Amino acid sequence: MPEAEQDGAGAVRTFGARLRAAMAHFGPVCVGIDPHPGLLESWGLPVDAEGLEQFAEICVEAFDGCVALVKPQVAFFETYGSAGIAVLERTIEVLRGSGTLVLADAKRGDIGSTMDAYAHAWLGDGPLGSDAVTASPYLGFGSLAPALALAEANRRGVFVLAATSNPEGAQLQRVVTGDGRSIAQTMVDEAAARNAGAAFGSVGVVIGATLAEAPDLSALNGPILMPGVGAQGGGPDNIRDLVPQSMLAAAVPTVSREVLRDGPDVTALRARVSELQETFAFLQK
């Protein structure tokens, strides 16, 4: 286990503690590994499992040890079946082995034993085991209990979808329930309850950076993953508008295409990451 995962007494630190330390050191930017077929083509790679592997290897070389959090988009690996999953396993293994935090963007959500199986796949010690996973709570927040319990036991993290930026999300997420809260706000509040008492919690939420307004995040005490930055139009001003001043240091802007379009040159990828880290450095001040 990398030393960075342990405290001075040798105990494994929580995901929240490790993420906060990584953000303070590298800056808050999360970089996505999204091997979209169009990107493979633009990088001059074949749109097959071999091209996927080359793409992932370049991303690992560019981002490993340089960013706070790396987020492989699981769907683009699943496309290639077992060969794609094997590439994902190697990508996770190399990144985590060197101490780089990995967030598997799998958006899993189910009930009972099925959710428990998903939890063990992404938060256990198997080949896909990551530092954190994205999860959908829209079978009810309580359906995520197996993932939340295993994450706590294994000192991992869960990022819960709360208010996403896709237009269709509003149909459900903005509905106001009988207690006067939107469903998105309920998800944020449920996450906050799991983080209560921690120095910085390990249950984060996903809030789209291009939203016109966000739920109240002031009591979350955990990380706020914010996709939609860069190529999708979100930027520093959007984050300032959506996140209260007291929680800015918890914001984790996530970029994918904004960085990956500069590939496959590793130097160019690193340079673009460095620019974005400078752009969002204000979040950690």
Rounded Cα–Cα distance for residues 123 and 202 (Å): 13
- Among 104-113, 125-134, 165-174, 196-205, which is the least confidently predicted range? 165-174
What mean pLDDT value characterizes the chain? 95
Nearest to 194 by CA among 204, 181, 184: 204
Residues 6+ apart with CB under 8 A from 134: 103, 104, 105, 106, 107, 108, 158, 159, 160, 161, 206, 225
Q: What is the pTM of this model?
A: 0.96
- Token pair of 278 as six digits: 């400078």
The pLDDT of residue 106: 98
Report the pLDDT averaged over residues 190-216: 97
In the predicted model, is pLDDT for residue 25 greater than 50? yes
In the predicted model, is pLDDT for residue 3 greater than 60? no
The ranges assigned to domains in the chain are 3-278
The pLDDT of residue 5: 66
pLDDT interval class at 124 (50, 70, 90): very high
Report the pLDDT averaged over residues 77-91: 98
**Known active-site residue 285:** no
- Considering the chain, what percentage of its residues have pLDDT values greater than 70? 96
CATH 3.20.20.70 fits 3-278, yes or no: yes
In the predicted model, is pLDDT for residue 179 greater than 80? yes
The pLDDT of residue 285: 86
In the predicted model, is pLDDT for residue 7 greater than 70? no
Q: Which of 107, 181, 240, 261 is catalytic?
A: 107
Rounded Cα–Cα distance for residues 118 and 233 (Å): 32
The pLDDT tens digits of the residues spanning 208-252 come to 999 999 999 999 999 999 999 877 788 999 999 999 999 999 999
